[in-house]
Amino acid sequence: QVIKCKAAVMWEANKPFSIEEVEVAPPKAHEVRIKIVATGICRSDDHVITGALVMPFPIILGHEAAGIVESVGQGVTSVKPGDKVIPLFVPQCGECNSCLSVKGNLCSKNDIGSAAGLMPDGTTRFTCKGKAIHHFIGTSTFTEYTVVHENSVAKIDSAAPLEKVCLIGCGFSTGYGAAVCTAKVEPGSTCAIFGLGGVGLSVVMGCKAAGASRIIAVDINSDKFAKAKELGATDCVNPKDFKKPIHEVLIEMTGQGVDYSFEVIGRTETMAAALACCQYNYGVSVIVGVPPAAQKITFDPMLLFSGRTWKGSVFGGWKSKDSVPKLVADYMKKKFVLDPLITHTLPFIKINEGFDLLRTGK
């Protein structure tokens, strides 16, 4: 059965979302149709609107959500109608090199790099006003119903509060995992986090959980500092308060640079600063923010020759289908909090107001 429902369609770049009635086709073989109960707003969605992350239009954005399975296609075994689930923007096929390696998590079936905006079979499940609408990184959660591939959905605890655990679909897992999974922060270490949005605050929580002794939070918006301290930051630094480059400030604060740095913004300047502020020989710097399209970084290779490690992290390094149910279970056991990451709760039709709040740093 085709379902008619509301969705926030992005018809073209740099325009507001348009709430439209869309038709959502039934799931094909190995696909799952989900009723979305709650979805978060992430800067990566906004990057598509501004062109910093290139995707085809028209498109239904959204990738951080939780919902309930409405129906399943032929051959689906991991979920059934009525199950509570989280869609996964990094799938886990279990067969590609990254899925088979203990070192990797970026399944080759992902649609982040290729940006086709389609289901794995090359077609779409959304139509609006007679036009085909693209999917976004295999999830598309700014709609009352969506269709995902079975590789891109995880069944979670039936008691989990969907309006909170939706954040495990991206922001929390991405930040927390960058610290505990990708960087493998050790007890007693010193960390610097550039950018204190939801993902950056989750990195702060990850560093604290890993036992870091000093956690330096860096942001040009000092309004973010109180929450960063509440979640574990020991120092807060605003680059605007200094005449010298921020990496020099951090080196002075720590004596020789931090053990671990994290860039959680998606700007080439801060990526370079995060690399330069970590210890010259054994420092590790992790890129967590989505890099802007068509921009390049120029840096002194001596920064790496001396021994530093520069690495990236997608979805916090977690194998998605395996890890999301465990992270939800950990949340239910109160091993970490999500409430401080939720600043506003709005009805779906106010999605444009939600993005205005994101863009104004609120």
Identity of residue 12: E
Using an 8 Å Cβ cutoff, are 89 and 137 in contact? yes
Return left, alpha or beta for 259; rule: phi > 0 is left, psi -120 to 50 is alpha, else beta.
Answer: alpha
Give backbone dihedrals phi and psi of 315, rounded to 5 degrees, phi first.
55, 35
CA angle 101, 104, 109 (to 5 degrees): 95
| DSSP conformation class of 181 | I
What pLDDT sits at residue 84?
98
By annotation, the residues acting in catalysis are 42, 44, 47, 63, 170
What pLDDT sits at residue 293?
87
Alpha helices in 214-278 (DSSP H): 225-230, 246-254, 268-276
Residue 18 burial (10 A CB sphere; 0-12, 13-18, 19+): middle
Distance CA 174, CA 91 (A): 14
What pLDDT sits at residue 359?
94
326 SS3 class: helix
Joined together, the tokens standing for residue 118 give 């389609």
Identity of residue 344: H
Return left, alpha or beta for 328; rule: phi > 0 is left, psi -120 to 50 is alpha, else beta.
Answer: alpha
What pLDDT sits at residue 229?
98
Q: At what angle do helices 268-276 and 246-254 cross, to 10 degrees?
A: 30
Distance CA 142, CA 7 (A): 6
Helix H or strand E segment including 257: none
Distance CA 262, CA 272 (A): 11
Using an 8 Å Cβ cutoff, are 244 and 161 in contact? no
* Low-confidence residues in the chain, pLDDT < 70: none
Joined together, the tokens standing for residue 213 give 């002794």
Task: Using the Cα atoms of residue 240, residue 246, residue 251 and residue 254 in order, give the sign of their dihedral.
Answer: positive
User: What pTM was estimated for this model as a whole?
Assistant: 0.96
Joined together, the tokens standing for residue 131 give 């036009």
What pLDDT sits at residue 294?
85
Distance CA 3, CA 20 (A): 13
What pLDDT sits at residue 113?
83
Return left, alpha or beta for 238; rule: phi > 0 is left, psi -120 to 50 is alpha, else beta.
Answer: beta
User: Which residues does 109 contact at the CB level (< 8 Å), separation at least 6?
Assistant: 91, 93, 96, 120, 149, 151
Residue 12 burial (10 A CB sphere; 0-12, 13-18, 19+): exposed
Distance CA 225, CA 178 (A): 20
Give me the domains of the chain, ranges plus CATH numbers. Answer: 3-171+317-360 (3.90.180.10), 183-312 (3.40.50.720)
